[in-house]
């Protein structure tokens, strides 16, 4: 009896804490921030002690998580930070470097007088990215489902092991994810809400800023932005037909951002990375895709982790034929037949972690289908689904290394988490109700 009483009291306390978090998500952000800082300290500690010498350098950077970090980005960050310390702001601004590198140099400049480069010196910016991603995930899930789904989706993303590790590194991906989720949130709002010009203008500016950021950070991904906006436009037309009214403000917002995104390749240079830079000598889009895939095959350092490395594109018909296969790879790789292969850089433990996460991804994809069906009347849910499928396929169309595919599809996988969170909340509610009904029936039964 005493044990049952203590258990009930503990459950009641837990429910009250959850209710407090539900009422004020700032508590969850504080917990998430603490978790991220502790993880960054742990990564640096493991690197300093060389407990995992093949995976982490003494400054906490990992070739397994991003081989560009130490080889290219770290020297650039240190050089740009030196320019800031010398007061040469103009030289810093005009120095050729990727956007994410310049932003990291601002963070490193705060500590470079007292410390050499390590993951803690860029933790302020990485932490900002991490929290921004959680906020955007929460907002998206709230828009499509409700507040509970928003909390569930944010918690899943916040605790995803490989994503957590990636956000401690010197990578372009966190900034890319923030920009992609920002664009998706703006598009989902235009498909769901009806606002005035004054209320919509900030989101137009946000969407344009996100589109520019995507193009600057990873030029190849920039070609997905017009496609996403065209999908938004088509779904918005469908919404207007269903509601039998003209949504002039929403329509104008989408068209304005679409027009801007269409001219970005002509107005701005893309990423300077050889792997992500769009080939300026290729006049046709299919040729740019083929050239990017060719570079990915040539620069891959783990042939055993490649998928379809023998596939090349010699014309637009080849792209169309390969598209279904690319979508399957983008959604389901690494496949089960690759789960028991030891990775060259991450080792057996890293592979087991990736395999476990892949199983969870499969589960979330099943929930995603249920979630879309639950919100099938909401056009924003279809936009998230189409974007996740097309985005994953686009990544697999140009990349062959499964680790690279896994990392680059984070933005699109998070959309699946958003859609699956609503179904997960309903599933947990049904399980809780069933258990409650069972307990009630036992208590009412005689004897």
The distance between the two most distant Cα atoms of the chain, rounded to a whole number of Å, is: 84
pLDDT > 90 fraction of the chain, expressed in percent and rounded: 54
Among 98, 272, 268, smallest CA distance to 170 is for: 98
On whether residue 376 sits in a domain, the answer given is: yes
**How confident is residue 275, by pLDDT bands cut at 50, 70 and 90?**
very low
On whether residue 47 sits in a domain, the answer given is: no
CA distance 230 to 21: 38
Of the candidate ranges 306-310, 366-370, 383-387, the one whose mean pLDDT is the lowest: 306-310
**How confident is residue 41, by pLDDT bands cut at 50, 70 and 90?**
very high
CA distance 409 to 387: 11
CA distance 382 to 373: 10
On whether residue 63 sits in a domain, the answer given is: no
CA distance 166 to 64: 10
On whether residue 366 sits in a domain, the answer given is: yes
Q: What number of other Cβ atoms are within 10 A of residue 36's Cβ?
A: 21
Of the candidate ranges 56-70, 194-208, 388-402, the one whose mean pLDDT is the lowest: 56-70
Going by C-beta distance under 8 Å and a sequence separation of 6 or more, which residues neighbour residue 203?
A: 186, 189, 190, 253
CA distance 172 to 213: 11
Is a pLDDT exceeding 60 seen at residue 355? yes
pLDDT at 143: 96
On whether residue 147 sits in a domain, the answer given is: no
Residue range 159-169: average pLDDT? 93
Mean pLDDT of the chain: 86
- Angle at which helices 316-332 and 379-398 pack, to 10 degrees? 110
pLDDT at 102: 94
pLDDT digits (tens, 9 = 90+) for 215-224: 999 888 888 9
On whether residue 116 sits in a domain, the answer given is: no
Map tokens 């996460």 to a residue.
Answer: 357
Domain enclosing residue 321, as ranges? 276-438
| pTM given for the model | 0.89
- The residue that leads in pLDDT, 352 or 82, is 82
Total number of domains constituting the chain: 1
Q: What number of other Cβ atoms are within 10 A of residue 355's Cβ?
A: 15
Among 89, 155, 141, 193, smallest CA distance to 368 is for: 141
pLDDT > 70 fraction of the chain, expressed in percent and rounded: 82
On whether residue 322 sits in a domain, the answer given is: yes
pLDDT digits (tens, 9 = 90+) for 114-154: 888 899 999 999 999 999 999 999 999 999 999 999 999 99
Residue range 358-381: average pLDDT? 95
On whether residue 66 sits in a domain, the answer given is: no
């Amino acid at each position: 009896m005493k044990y049952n009483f203590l258990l009930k009291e503990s459950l009641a306390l837990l429910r009250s804490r959850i209710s407090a978090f539900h009422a004020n998500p700032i508590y969850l952000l504080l917990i998430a921030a603490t978790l991220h800082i502790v993880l960054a300290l742990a990564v640096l500690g493991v690197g300093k002690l060389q407990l995992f010498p093949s995976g982490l350098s003494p400054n906490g950077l990992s070739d397994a998580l991003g081989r560009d970090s130490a080889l290219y980005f770290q020297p650039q960050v240190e050089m740009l930070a030196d320019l800031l310390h010398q007061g040469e702001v103009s030289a810093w601004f005009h120095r050729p470097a990727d956007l994410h590198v310049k932003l990291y140099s601002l963070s490193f400049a705060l500590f470079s007088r007292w410390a050499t480069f390590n993951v803690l010196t860029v933790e302020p910016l990485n932490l900002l990215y991490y929290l921004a991603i959680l906020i955007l995930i929460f907002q998206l899930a709230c828009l499509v489902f409700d507040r509970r789904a928003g909390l569930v989706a944010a918690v899943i993303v916040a605790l995803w092991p490989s994503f957590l590790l990636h956000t401690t590194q010197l990578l372009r991906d966190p900034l890319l994810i923030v920009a992609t989720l920002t664009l998706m949130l703006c598009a989902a709002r235009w498909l769901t809400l009806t606002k005035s010009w004054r209320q919509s203008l900030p989101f137009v500016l946000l969407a344009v800023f996100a589109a520019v950021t995507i193009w600057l950070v990873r030029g190849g991904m920039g070609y997905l932005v017009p496609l996403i906006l065209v999908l938004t436009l088509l779904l918005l037309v469908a919404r207007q037909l269903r509601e039998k009214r003209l949504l002039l403000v929403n329509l104008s917002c989408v068209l304005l951002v679409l027009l801007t995104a269409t001219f970005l390749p002509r107005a701005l240079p893309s990423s300077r990375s050889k792997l992500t830079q769009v080939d300026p000598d290729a006049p046709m889009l299919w040729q740019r895709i083929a050239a990017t895939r060719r570079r990915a095959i040539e620069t891959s350092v783990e042939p055993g982790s490649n998928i379809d490395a023998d596939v090349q594109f010699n014309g637009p018909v080849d792209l169309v034929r390969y598209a279904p296969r690319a979508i399957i790879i983008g959604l389901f790789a690494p496949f089960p037949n690759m789960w028991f292969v030891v990775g060259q850089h991450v080792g057996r433990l890293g592979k087991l972690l990736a395999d476990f996460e892949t199983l969870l991804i499969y589960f979330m994809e099943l929930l995603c289908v249920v979630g879309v069906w639950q919100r099938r009347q909401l056009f924003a849910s279809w936009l998230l689904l189409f974007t996740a499928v097309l985005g994953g396929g686009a990544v697999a169309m140009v990349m062959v290394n499964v680790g690279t595919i896994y990392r680059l599809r984070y933005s699109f996988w998070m959309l699946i988490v958003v859609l699956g969170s609503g179904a997960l909340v309903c599933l947990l509610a049904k399980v809780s109700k069933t258990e409650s009904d069972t307990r009630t029936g036992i208590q009412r039964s005689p004897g």
